[in-house]
Structure 1
Amino acid sequence: MKRIKFDLAELQAFVATAEKASFRMAAESLCLSAPALSRRVERLEEALGAKLLERTTRHVQLTAIGQEFLTEARAALAGLEIAVQRVTDQALPHRGSVTVACIPSVANHLLPLALRSFAIEFPEVQVHVIDENASHVLEAVVRGQADFGVSFTGSQEPGLQFEVLTRERYVLAMLRSHSWAGRSEVAWTELAGERLVSVSHQSSNRLLLDQVMAGLSDQPMAWYECNHVTGALALVEAGLGMAAIPQLALPESHPKVCGIPLAEPQLWRTLGLIQKRGRMLSPSAASLKKQLLAVHGIS
């Protein structure tokens, strides 16, 4: 590996200048003089043996090499920040921060229960929640942006460990005034001809739903599509149709919408805690993970 001949301050100077497109504004953000900032960028360019910035009297512009290096420089600084924060959290177990990535239904209905107990044990620890779809949750864990995640994908990833948290069944969300609202189950074949709301292909739930739909002789039609289950639920509440959604996404106390289990076949998904193999959690992150397991009676 070629020896690195520049320091962190020079890397920060370059990133700030590239983002501000101005030496003056970048210097102000770093509490430096413009000449001092310029010298740091020049030293970095000399160390790399490449021109990163094109300078004119009016503005600063990235070269092609500079644009490519900016992406890597940002990632390096972000990774270093995460590493420093992790060490700080371990040195001061009752301070620092925890980042958990989870799908929206977990963030809305499961995580708050665990956070109540966590806040009592670690009142000085900040919690950052990345509430995104399953693919983004997986990416956040793999890239080290989150201490751990909660999702229904990741069990097949070789670099991750998947710890089962709970299983949930898919239900048909409908208005409580609907004629089917009092039923115990609804068969998938009965959905043909009904006005449905669906999640789009950007949602990982769509793959599970399409696998069931593929086995039906008469394919139901989705009149509305949303990227997230929460959006689909809002359209159901507005009376625009019914939607097949995970049970956890629909609270039992919802005033307007109820969920009837779907059958023939039943469709379930398994939620689990996902974590990079070999990653040691800080005491606070380990405690939050334990609280999530405790919500479902897992010790």
Structure 2
Amino acid sequence: MRRINFDMGELMAFVVTAEKGSFRLAADALYLSAPALSRRVERLETALGIRLLERTTRHVALTAVGQEFLQEARAALNGLDEAVQRVGDQLKLRRGRVTVACIPSVAGNLLPQVLKAFATAQPEVQVHVLDENARQVLDAVLRGEADFGVSFTGSQESALRFDALTRERYVLALPPGHAWAGRREVAWSELAGERLVSVSHHSGNRLVLDQVMAELPEQPVAWYECNHVSGALALVEAGLGMAAIPQLALEPSHPRVRSVPLTQPEVWRTLGLLQRRDRVLSPMAQALRDCIVQTHKTA
């Protein structure tokens, strides 16, 4: 195999000179002196053993071989640019920081397995998790504080893309010793007269729950309120009452809290990925987003 005895600087000098049709214009474009540029082209011709350019006092023209070689030279330089771009993209993918905003139930029960897989694939990428209520997640994505979000609100926001990820049902969380712990289902209307733990009006879940409760013949009473579902679950665990919660918020293997599906009506919410329509994710943010989708599919 014949060894290439010229460098990319000489190849670039030839391509720019051929395109400009002038050593002076090419030298200006490459920030070189005209003699220095001419020497580069001459070294390339010597290495190839062929004349590529015909020189006159005012003009530079390609020889027939030079015309053919110009196409190959351009392709080589373009290929190098693409290779450098790919390497740069890989470096960006492997190093950097991603910020994802999500509701607490996602942060506690869906995200850990995702981040474990992501850390194995991209060990140099730092991840900042903003675990907030649904309204704060929405605002963080809209303001650009988070690369993307995971929540159950935002589908009506025109500035956002909402890509559905999964649906989850509302269940009744209760202590394992409760008389209802072994039941197959519990009707919402049966909650009247029971001691309930609820999320506060600061939680996006409260709107869902209030809409259901408003249709019941008798309104259940919340004896305790917490800003987040995790706080409500802690009170249920302490035996202070029962709580209507989204299923994802409770691990199936929780040792001190059981869940029973709520019926009449069945109530579901859709979790989705939130992203600003005018924002293109960085390679590392896109990789994390893809990992969330893939992990959910294989879970």
* TM-score, structure 1 normalization: 0.69
**Matched AA of 1:153:** T
Q: Which residue of 2 aligns with 1:122?
A: 122
Q: Which residue of 2 aligns with 1:107?
A: 107
Q: Cα deviation per residue 1:140-166 (whole Å; 9 max; x = unaligned)?
A: 000000000000000000000000110
Checking the alignment, whether the CA contact within 8 Å between 2:92 and 2:284 is kept in structure 1 is no
In 2, Cα distance between equivalents of 1:177 and 1:295: 34
In 1, Cα distance between equivalents of 2:228 and 2:279: 30
In 2, Cα distance between equivalents of 1:121 and 1:91: 13
> What runs of 5+ residues in structure 2 fail to find an aligned partner?
1-87
Q: Which residue of 2 aligns with 1:292?
A: 292
Q: Cα deviation per residue 1:180-216 (whole Å; 9 max; x = unaligned)?
A: 1111110001001100000010111000000000000
Q: Which residue of 1 aligns with 2:206?
A: 206
CA drift at 1:93? 2.3
In 1, Cα distance between equivalents of 2:254 and 2:92: 41
In 2, Cα distance between equivalents of 1:247 and 1:186: 14
Checking the alignment, whether the CA contact within 8 Å between 1:89 and 1:95 is kept in structure 2 is no
Q: Which secondary structure does the structure 1 equivalent of 2:270 belong to?
A: strand
CA drift at 1:90? 8.6
Q: Which residue of 1 aligns with 2:148?
A: 148
CA drift at 1:89? 8.5
Whether 1:173 aligns to 2:173 is yes
**Matched AA of 2:182:** G
Structure 1 runs of 4+ with >3 Å offset: 88-91
In 2, Cα distance between equivalents of 1:182 and 1:93: 48
- 5 Å-filtered alignment, 1:185-196, equals 185-196=185-196
* Closer/same/farther in 2, CA of residues 238 and 206 from structure 1, 3 Å limit: same
Q: Which secondary structure does the structure 1 equivalent of 2:93 belong to?
A: coil
CA drift at 1:294? 1.1
In 2, Cα distance between equivalents of 1:173 and 1:125: 36
Q: Which secondary structure does the structure 2 equivalent of 1:183 belong to?
A: coil
Q: Which residue of 2 aligns with 1:274?
A: 274
In 2, Cα distance between equivalents of 1:275 and 1:156: 13
Q: Which residue of 1 aligns with 2:98?
A: 98
Checking the alignment, whether the CA contact within 8 Å between 1:90 and 1:282 is kept in structure 2 is no
* Closer/same/farther in 2, CA of residues 253 and 99 from structure 1, 3 Å limit: same
Which is worse superposed, 234-243 or 91-100?
91-100
CA drift at 1:296? 2.0
Whether 1:159 aligns to 2:159 is yes
* Closer/same/farther in 2, CA of residues 211 and 260 from structure 1, 3 Å limit: same
Work out the percentage of aligned pairs sharing the same amino acid.
Answer: 68
In 1, Cα distance between equivalents of 2:212 and 2:286: 37
Q: What is the number of equivalent residue pairs in this alignment? A: 211
In 1, Cα distance between equivalents of 2:95 and 2:227: 36
Q: Which secondary structure does the structure 2 equivalent of 1:154 belong to?
A: coil
Q: Cα deviation per residue 1:103-140 (whole Å; 9 max; x = unaligned)?
A: 00000010111111111121011000000000000000
**Matched AA of 2:240:** L
CA drift at 1:283? 1.0
- 5 Å-filtered alignment, 1:28-39, equals none
Q: Cα deviation per residue 1:202-236 (whole Å; 9 max; x = unaligned)?
A: 11100000000000011100100111100000000
In 2, Cα distance between equivalents of 1:89 and 1:195: 55
CA drift at 1:295? 1.9
Q: Which residue of 2 aligns with 1:136?
A: 136
* Closer/same/farther in 2, CA of residues 89 and 110 from structure 1, 3 Å limit: farther
> What runs of 5+ residues in structure 1 fail to find an aligned partner?
1-87
Q: Which residue of 1 aligns with 2:240?
A: 240
**Matched AA of 1:258:** R
Q: Which secondary structure does the structure 2 equivalent of 1:177 belong to?
A: coil
Larger of the two Rg values belongs to structure: 2
* TM-score, structure 2 normalization: 0.69
In 2, Cα distance between equivalents of 1:205 and 1:230: 12
In 2, Cα distance between equivalents of 1:220 and 1:297: 37
Checking the alignment, whether the CA contact within 8 Å between 2:172 and 2:245 is kept in structure 1 is yes
* Closer/same/farther in 2, CA of residues 135 and 163 from structure 1, 3 Å limit: same
In 1, Cα distance between equivalents of 2:90 and 2:137: 24
Provide the alpha-carbon RMSD of the alignment: 1.4
**Matched AA of 2:222:** A
In 2, Cα distance between equivalents of 1:231 and 1:115: 24
Q: Which secondary structure does the structure 2 equivalent of 1:92 belong to?
A: helix
In 1, Cα distance between equivalents of 2:296 and 2:92: 29
